[in-house]
Amino acid sequence: MDTTQDIAKVDQLSQVIRYVTIEQSIDLSKCRGQGYDGAAVMSDPYSGVQKRILDEVDRAVYVHCAAHNLNLVLNDAMNGIFEVSKFFAALEKLYTFFAVSIKRWALLSEILSSKRKAGNLQLKRLCPTRWSSRNDSLLAIRFSYADILQALAKIVLTSNNASERTDASNLKKDLESFEFVFQVVLHTKILIATNGVSQNLQNSDFDLWQARDLLQAARKELEEFRGEFEKVKSDAVELAKSWGVRVEFCQKRVKKTKRHFDELCEDQRLTDGEKRFKVNVFLSCLDIAISQPNHRFVGLNQIVDSFAIIQPQVLLQLTAEELAKECDKFREKYYDDPRTGGDVEKAEETTYRSQRAWYKTPARDENDAEFRMLYQNARSRTAIQAKDSVGQKRVPPEKSGVPGSSNHQQRRDN
């Protein structure tokens, strides 16, 4: 049950009832992962759906919806800093100022059309939930900055409405701040780095391995961007010149705290406006965006690491010995997989055949001594230690399906 506003700004109640049934033909023990959004009823670690399934199947790792999770990363990076929240509030006011008046919107469109910037560079509403979609809103400001200010200046000079002139003057003052221009460049870069990832994460053809690769690439790009403060400042200066904005950071009065007699040093605060902005806005925003994925995508990374052995790109990079070790690790983790019914001998034979399928060449066959020795050595180092509920014991090597054993030869004869 949830409510949302319609086009007339009236709350509309929606009630959705879902029936989930698990029939006898569906074996929940085969579940190896579960994914939802961040709703507490689904993702709560104490009483949510993911917890109830984990109680039944401890290997069903919970994975938060990657696209939704990335949106939360951006939300934390943007809303956690006062100056950034103030910046996006100014963008929303700017859109509202032009959008509520047909006359003002026509004026802005006329200026953009005269410079061939109409269409995709129109002001857009800031979506309150999808932060990556704000990329379009920032691009409109980034490439139409002087044109928007021209429209505001014309309204200030020609409007007969005092309230309209005041609103336009206040918005014009906000946009003429160099810190505002700097944040336009900063957040445009951040959202460009994450917008493509967000779009791909919503693609039904995308898998978890590709998602992790893209998230890691975006994180690496932001880490490199963290050391480019001077480059961002240079781009902001160029943008400011298009309207003649003075290049200076706001100087704020330094608050002092009382020093007690037993304190060894005085309270130290940043007094330089540029250094203050770099530390409190630029670095803080990027640090949050870079560090958040470390704990928000833990479930996704666990699934990818657990099943990496079945990925073709991983298999092609491993040697025969490394593949044998990884197969044994995977087999030990899922030793009681229902597909083998807890049958250790069957699990060993399945693993051996999968290894041979990848490494069999015209120069080798199943009796190849080199591969048989390699397999037996790897098997002895990382052997399965599975026991079923009735105390089933390991099958001796001479009774298993290992190449060279009598049991293996009998199977080949059959």
Mean pLDDT of 259-272: 68
Q: Say which range, 27-31, 155-159, 208-212, 259-263, has the weakest mean pLDDT.
A: 259-263
Torsion over CA of 161, 166, 169 and 174, rounded to 10 degrees?
-140
Mean pLDDT of 330-337: 73
- Helices then strands, counting H and E runs in the chain, come out as 20, 4
Which pLDDT band holds residue 365 (cuts at 50, 70, 90)? very low
Residue 271 has pLDDT above 70, yes or no: yes
Which pLDDT band holds residue 66 (cuts at 50, 70, 90)? confident
Residue 124 has pLDDT above 90, yes or no: no
Indicate the average pLDDT of the chain.
76
Q: What confidence score (pLDDT) does residue 94 get?
A: 93
Which pLDDT band holds residue 320 (cuts at 50, 70, 90)? confident
Q: Which tokens belong to 385?
A: 């230690």
Mean pLDDT of 202-224: 87
Q: What confidence score (pLDDT) does residue 221 get?
A: 92
**DSSP 8-state code for residue 116:** T
Beta strands per DSSP E along 175-216: none
Q: What confidence score (pLDDT) does residue 403 get?
A: 45
Which pLDDT band holds residue 15 (cuts at 50, 70, 90)? low
User: Is residue 148 classed exposed, middle or buried when 0-12, 13-18 and 19+ CB atoms within 10 A define those classes?
Assistant: buried
Mean pLDDT of 94-115: 89
H-only helix segments in 307-343: 312-315, 320-333
Torsion over CA of 10, 11, 15 and 16, rounded to 10 degrees?
80
Q: Say which range, 1-5, 151-155, 294-298, has the weakest mean pLDDT.
A: 1-5
Q: What confidence score (pLDDT) does residue 386 get?
A: 38
Q: Say which range, 203-207, 304-308, 364-368, 393-397, has the weakest mean pLDDT.
A: 393-397
Q: Region of 118 please: left (phi>0), alpha (psi -120 to 50) or beta.
A: beta
Task: Answer yes or no: pTM beyond 0.85.
Answer: no
More confident residue, 206 or 93: 93
Q: What confidence score (pLDDT) does residue 311 get?
A: 80
